[in-house]
Structure 1
Amino acid sequence: MNRSITLLAGTALACALALPLSAQEAEAPVIVVTGEGLDETPATPAYDKQIIDREQLVSVPSGRIEDALASVAGFQQFRRSDSRSANASAQGATLRALGGNATSRALVLLDGVPMSDPFFGYIPFSAIAPERLSQIRVTRGGGSGPFGTGALAGTIEMESAGIDQLDGIAGQALVNDRGETELSGSAGARLGSGFLVASGRWDRGKGFYTTPEADRVPLSARAAFDGWSAQIRGVAPVSDEIELQVRGLAYRDERTLRFKGADSSIEGQDASLRLVGRGEWEFDALAYLQARNFTNVVVSSTRFVPVLDQRNTPATGLGGKLELRPPVGDAHVLRVGMDFRRAEGELYETAISAFSGNVTARRNAGGTNTDLGLFVEDDWTLGRLVLTLGARLDRWTIRDGFYTERDASGGLLSTDSFADRAGWDASFRGGVLYRANDVVALRAAAYSGLRLPTLNELYRPFVVFPVVTQANAALENERLEGFEAGIELTPNPAVALSLTAFDNRVKNAVANVTIAENLRQRRNIDAIQSRGLEASVSATLGAFSLAASAVWTDAEAKGSGFAAALDGNRPSQTPRFTGGATLSWSPADDWLLSATVRHVGAQFEDDLESNVLPAVTTLDAFVQVPMTPDIALVLRGENLTDETIVTRNQRGSIDLGVPRTVWAGVKVGL
């Protein structure tokens, strides 16, 4: 499969690069391509949207994409750890305080391609380098609509940078006070009317101790990490109205958590082809193929020996999307189309006795999920008023599910083959935007959405010692219903303020439910309801700029029957308040000094609200000073006040987040 993806990407890229040469030979007029998707529709601002621009992306003090996303209040992963010190399978993306069980409730797209792992649903954050992107558009809420299933909490759309931003050779090299390194580089060239950009990044280090000093044992280990990613992207014109975009991405990331031998890894190879037409009939046609894998060794926290080897979790994702925008008049933008996604994977794991070291069981489980969606959406502009209404119909299947367990000699201990399931689900979204004048805009929206349980939730049990969490092949789909209303104020072009009130409800929410001491199971509870207020402000005054965002939420679980004990509880890993602000000073070209303050309120580790993760406030900083026209000095600081960040608390078994860390290096652009 990996070889097939590589061949597909290489063949498509060669075809793309041949196109501009053919155009040159025919002495056709020069055509400028953008490498972007279709433009936003007029009704996009009807939903709660926030943009992270390129300057913000390349000046993140940690250099990590998940910390760039954290500038949007309400964004959260399952845990507070970043992709250097977290188990990757816990790095789902969520918005709107809708809780989570490490699976993404927000849909994350890179150039239109869903980035969630086909088996687990986590996002491979370490494979997405901020310096490769031009911007990120975060839409909180908004439903599935034309984006696809999985957008319960919202949509995070990442766009790759084009040749205007990555022309020539660029790179940077940094080292921190622990001797860890970050190396990245890119090379971009214009080829006829198209362009080609290749980029790579390598991060490695011994890491920090996630275990508090008082709790360390001789086998406690630093959170070591070693990860690389490489991407190649070509864009070429097919005609004066159509362009072809080709992208290939490969990555591998290895980490160690808590104890020596507790090693995990992720790897992936992605390829995508995209045709974008900007003629009278606009269209966006996308196809992609993904191969992913995950490994993980669980070490006993009492005997400090391996007790579970999740040695192989191969998964494949494939799909595509076709969107058409027919010419229906200047007052309308009509979107019709379809999308498809297939996720297939299985796990292979070995259970090991903590006392004898002998194999006690070998397990194999997996299945296939598919979704075919049809959508239509119309934006209608009536002077200062914009109306939008859309509908979506999904045909989903959950099939080929199985679980097998054998003893060390291969004897069958248990086997299950789960019944196939399928169904149709309809969802809707609509909104209104009214620009009262040049200063005030009012908006309101209502929406619904769908998320299938992942293969991981359906079939894979896991252990975070001493707690065992069981899978559940009978899980039902999650359904979202929500509405919001907001106001946008732009008193002048340099100042923008936004305030949104929302009420979102996820029915049949999948949660890790405590069913006995140290035993949980994934189950559908009645609902998770989240109500709150989101606010953001951006302002520029000469060389100074401010970007701030905050959200207050009242989120609670709705449970009955087996989940009655959860009724009224706040969902696990969900703070009541988060907020942050970045103040920047750019006195001249290529100069930048910024400081970021971020606060995350207290949250609970578990569904029963018995283990607290205390509130934390951190201070980060970024400095870039040009030394020559092509070289700049870069200084970065993470958690400069050295706050204690508790990322996990299992009855007093605690993990910590990043301590004070200072980086220094150089940035080169030729």
Structure 2
Amino acid sequence: MLVGDRVLPDRSAFAVSLVAVAWSGLAGTPALADTAGDAAAGADQTIVVTGRGLDLPPAAAAYDRVELPRERLEQTGSGRIEDALSAVAGFQQFRRSDSRSANPSAQGVTLRALGGNATSRTLVLLDGVPQADPFFGYIPLSAIDPSLLSAARITRGGGTGGFGAGAVAGTIELLSAGPDELGVAQGSLLADDRGDTDLSASLAPRLGQGFAVVSGQWDRGEGFWTTPLSQRVPASVKAAYRNWTAGLRSVAPLTPEIELQARVSAYGDKRTLRFAGADTTSLGQDASLRLVGRGRWGFEALAYLQARDFTNIVVSSTTFRPSLNQYATPSTGWGGKLELRPPVSAEHLLRLGADWRAASGTAFEASLNATTGAVTSRRAIGGRNTDLGLFAEDDWTLGVLVLTAGLRADRWAVEDGNFTESNAAGLVTTSNAYAPRTGWDLSARGGAVLHLSQTIALRGSAYTSTRQPTLNELYRPFTVFPVVTRANAALGNERLAGFEVGLDLTPIPALTLGLTAFDNRVRHAIANVTIATNLRERRNVDAIHARGIEATAALRLGKVSLDGSLALTDAKVEASGTSAALNGMRPAQTPKVAASATLGWHPARNWALSLTLKHVGAQYEDDLQTDVLPAATTLDAHAELPLGSGVALVFRAENLTDRMVFTRNQAGSIDLGAPRTVWGGLRVKIG
């Protein structure tokens, strides 16, 4: 495939082979089961296919972890995954915008106010596969359909297990749903009061002892005004969007204890931001294959491949004509993991493993004369990052006490970094080839959970973790007029060190409470540092230090439920030398207070009504704390009313009080989040 002046390898054969392997497993399931039955001479050969990875270890409770069930993921005002995850206070993207009106490259995910730039400091996994974009590090949130998920597990704090490099703020594990939750077929069609539409559908037939899920989603709309009325010009437009996703996932048992899981998916996303012609697109094709063994020797083997592309046209805010055309950003991510759980003893769960990740990509850009549209220069920017991790972790159960300890070693490499610029005539004016760098990082974590009774559990943990800078942070400069941000090929790895203590209470069966106090410090944190008027550079500051309290509550009283989450965080930048002006300042885009509460009512079977109140405290746009994004409190609603025969009316409402939510404030130039929006439509479920 030709992109710009680069030829990309055709990966379709790999994706097709994954489906073929999985499908052959599905087709062969009955024969495999019969053979196993003959060999067992009548022994019980019940096959249970889950489509999930290995079970959570017993010491998972030692860490600050929240699990959102399927209904919490589906019942939101917007129907978007970022909206569902924000029910856990402390979850945030770089900006408050969602995936209709944000630049995709700014949709990095973090926890615990450890923000600072648009790259994810949280490891996001879908069925065990890392989701971060290979070039930018953002999460393609528009490609994740909450209606296809069974649960989301959010663990705050550093990680050292599989793919643990990158989990400096925590880990979000998204788990796919199967036929028991999806039914044989389901679909929904909704429209909002602006005429935007959202269409999704899935088929989940059982095939032999396994199953397959075929799914698709398409949402589009003219969007809403992100520019305040007082700042609109003739070139201003609404935040139009058009997204689609398609996927095939298959799960097949190879033996009663081993199952094969395969996935192929693709997505496309187009958005228009602020001005006519300021179009952004992202494309992706993903494939993965996972083998899970739940026998005496538990194991999990995983391989994945990502092919991504990104384009972006920047429109001048003075001439309102294109000033930059980032016409292609082809990137590739690939990797795998092997985890073994040898049978040590009944008291110990030992996990040994290795993982590998690689990311390569190149951004092709053309700078334009914002008056005439003529090309003034062209750039090609890219490189390759790799990480090989080795890890070991053991959980030791001593009655009511569970102890855990883990160690991880990462061999990382930064290679092939380059920046080439040519003038309008094609003459090369700059050609930089950056020296490769390699090294080892060690990470560790340990913890304990003590069950004092059936109603009280004490927990504590300490951990370290590391994150490698992305290709975007290392090599690609960018401009959000009038501010220019330089890249920095000398950036070093971020290093987290932190600890936490917590208390979990279940005073009555209907009520669950959790309280966690934490202290996390990311040394060499990468931030966009102001070095002159309208000029910033990505730099490693001494540290970002965040301390705070996180609280959760869940109440179930008959048909009524109440879920709450609160995060109070004091985050400070520690900086010296040329970055000393930032010392003591709060990191950009990080609030001190975040809270969420959802009141649910299920008056009868298949009825669901809920209200969600969210509050995000004031935060600063920039590192020098000159521009403020005011606090925002929003109210969302969701209702599902059955009509019979698997058909239900669905109503959703975003920002019911029509609160003005500031998502950007750059020297008084404002962007806004979604206004009051009401959705209505039908949902059908068969089986």
2:495 is the alignment partner of 1:486: no
1:354 Cα offset (Å)? 1.2
Q: What residue is the counterpart of 2:25 in the other structure? A: 16
Partner SS for 2:204: strand
Kept in 2, the 8 Å contact 1:8–1:271? The answer is no
1:20 Cα offset (Å)? 1.6
2:59 is the alignment partner of 1:50: no
Q: What residue is the counterpart of 1:3 in the other structure? A: 12
2:526 is the alignment partner of 1:510: yes
User: 5+ residue gaps in structure 1?
Assistant: none
Aligned partners of 1:167 and 1:571: how far apart in 2? 45
Q: Deviations over 1:123-182 (max 9, x none)?
A: 000000000100000000033333421000000000000121123111100000000000
1:21 Cα offset (Å)? 4.6
Aligned partners of 1:442 and 1:183: how far apart in 2? 45
Q: 1:405 aligns with which of 421, 425, 431?
A: 421
Kept in 2, the 8 Å contact 1:144–1:450? The answer is no
Residue type matched to 2:104 in 1? A
Q: What residue is the counterpart of 2:571 in the other structure? A: 555
Q: What residue is the counterpart of 1:530 in the other structure? A: 546
Partner SS for 2:110: coil
Q: What residue is the counterpart of 2:631 in the other structure? A: 615
1:495 Cα offset (Å)? 1.1
Partner SS for 2:460: strand
2:195 is the alignment partner of 1:179: yes
1:412 Cα offset (Å)? 0.7
Q: What residue is the counterpart of 1:35 in the other structure? A: 51
Q: Which one is further off, 548-557 or 52-61?
A: 52-61
2:210 is the alignment partner of 1:194: yes
1:25 Cα offset (Å)? 7.0
2:423 is the alignment partner of 1:414: no
Kept in 1, the 8 Å contact 2:129–2:304? The answer is yes
Residue type matched to 2:209 in 1? S
Q: What residue is the counterpart of 1:298 in the other structure? A: 314
Kept in 2, the 8 Å contact 1:144–1:152? The answer is no
Partner SS for 1:456: helix
Q: What residue is the counterpart of 1:451 in the other structure? A: 467
Kept in 2, the 8 Å contact 1:5–1:290? The answer is no
2:131 is the alignment partner of 1:133: no
1:485 Cα offset (Å)? 0.3
Provide TM-score, normalisation by structure 1: 0.99
Q: What residue is the counterpart of 1:106 in the other structure? A: 122
Partner SS for 1:627: strand
State the number of aligned residues: 670
Residue type matched to 2:20 in 1? T
Residue type matched to 1:359 in 2? V
The correspondence of residues 186-265 of structure 1 with structure 2, limited to 5 A, is: 186-265=202-281
1:58 Cα offset (Å)? 1.2
Q: 2:376 aligns with which of 336, 339, 360?
A: 360
1:525 Cα offset (Å)? 0.5
Q: Deviations over 1:535-592 (max 9, x none)?
A: 0000100000011000000000001011100000000000000001000000111100
2:303 is the alignment partner of 1:287: yes
Q: Deviations over 1:174-209 (max 9, x none)?
A: 000000000001101111110111111101000011
1:2 Cα offset (Å)? 4.1
Kept in 1, the 8 Å contact 2:23–2:250? The answer is no
Q: What residue is the counterpart of 2:41 in the other structure? A: none
Q: Which one is further off, 10-19 or 67-76?
A: 10-19
Q: Deviations over 1:266-300 (max 9, x none)?
A: 11010000000010000011000110111000000
Q: 2:456 aligns with which of 436, 440, 457?
A: 440
Aligned partners of 1:458 and 1:27: how far apart in 2? 53
Aligned partners of 1:622 and 1:302: how far apart in 2? 41
Kept in 2, the 8 Å contact 1:641–1:660? The answer is yes
Aligned partners of 2:270 and 2:530: how far apart in 1? 31
Partner SS for 2:27: helix
Q: What residue is the counterpart of 1:376 in the other structure? A: 392
Aligned partners of 2:52 and 2:231: how far apart in 1? 50
Residue type matched to 2:131 in 1? M
Q: 2:173 aligns with which of 144, 148, 157?
A: 157
1:12 Cα offset (Å)? 2.7
1:30 Cα offset (Å)? 5.4
Partner SS for 2:61: helix
Q: Cα distance 1:653–1:283, how it changes in 2: closer, same or farther (>3 A)?
A: same
Aligned partners of 2:422 and 2:11: how far apart in 1? 29
The correspondence of residues 323-338 of structure 1 with structure 2, limited to 5 A, is: 323-338=339-354
2:504 is the alignment partner of 1:495: no
Residue type matched to 1:525 in 2? V
1:5 Cα offset (Å)? 4.2
* Fraction of identical pairs, as percent: 60
Aligned partners of 2:162 and 2:59: how far apart in 1? 13
1:31 Cα offset (Å)? 1.9
Aligned partners of 1:30 and 1:184: how far apart in 2? 34
1:468 Cα offset (Å)? 1.1
Partner SS for 1:362: strand
1:27 Cα offset (Å)? 8.8
Kept in 2, the 8 Å contact 1:550–1:580? The answer is yes
Q: Deviations over 1:191-235 (max 9, x none)?
A: 111011111110100001110001000010110000000111100
Q: What residue is the counterpart of 2:478 in the other structure? A: 462
Q: Deviations over 1:600-620 (max 9, x none)?
A: 000000000000000000000
1:321 Cα offset (Å)? 0.4
Structure 1 stretches of at least 4 aligned residues deviating more than 6 Å after TM superposition: none
Residue type matched to 1:396 in 2? W
Q: Cα distance 1:618–1:402, how it changes in 2: closer, same or farther (>3 A)?
A: same
2:95 is the alignment partner of 1:86: no
Kept in 2, the 8 Å contact 1:12–1:273? The answer is no
Residue type matched to 1:148 in 2? G
Q: Cα distance 1:103–1:504, how it changes in 2: closer, same or farther (>3 A)?
A: same
1:23 Cα offset (Å)? 3.1
Aligned partners of 1:39 and 1:27: how far apart in 2? 24
Aligned partners of 1:16 and 1:468: how far apart in 2? 53
Residue type matched to 2:15 in 1? T
Kept in 2, the 8 Å contact 1:145–1:428? The answer is no
Kept in 2, the 8 Å contact 1:146–1:392? The answer is no
Q: 1:66 aligns with which of 70, 79, 82?
A: 82
Q: Which one is further off, 449-458 or 141-150?
A: 141-150
Aligned partners of 2:14 and 2:664: how far apart in 1? 37
Aligned partners of 2:160 and 2:94: how far apart in 1? 21
Residue type matched to 2:101 in 1? S
2:326 is the alignment partner of 1:310: yes
User: 5+ residue gaps in structure 2?
Assistant: 1-9, 38-44
Q: What residue is the counterpart of 1:600 in the other structure? A: 616
1:6 Cα offset (Å)? 3.2
Aligned partners of 2:620 and 2:317: how far apart in 1? 22
2:106 is the alignment partner of 1:97: no
Q: What residue is the counterpart of 2:3 in the other structure? A: none
Aligned partners of 2:454 and 2:473: how far apart in 1? 48
Q: Cα distance 1:414–1:27, how it changes in 2: closer, same or farther (>3 A)?
A: closer
Cα root mean square deviation, aligned: 1.1
Kept in 1, the 8 Å contact 2:27–2:207? The answer is no
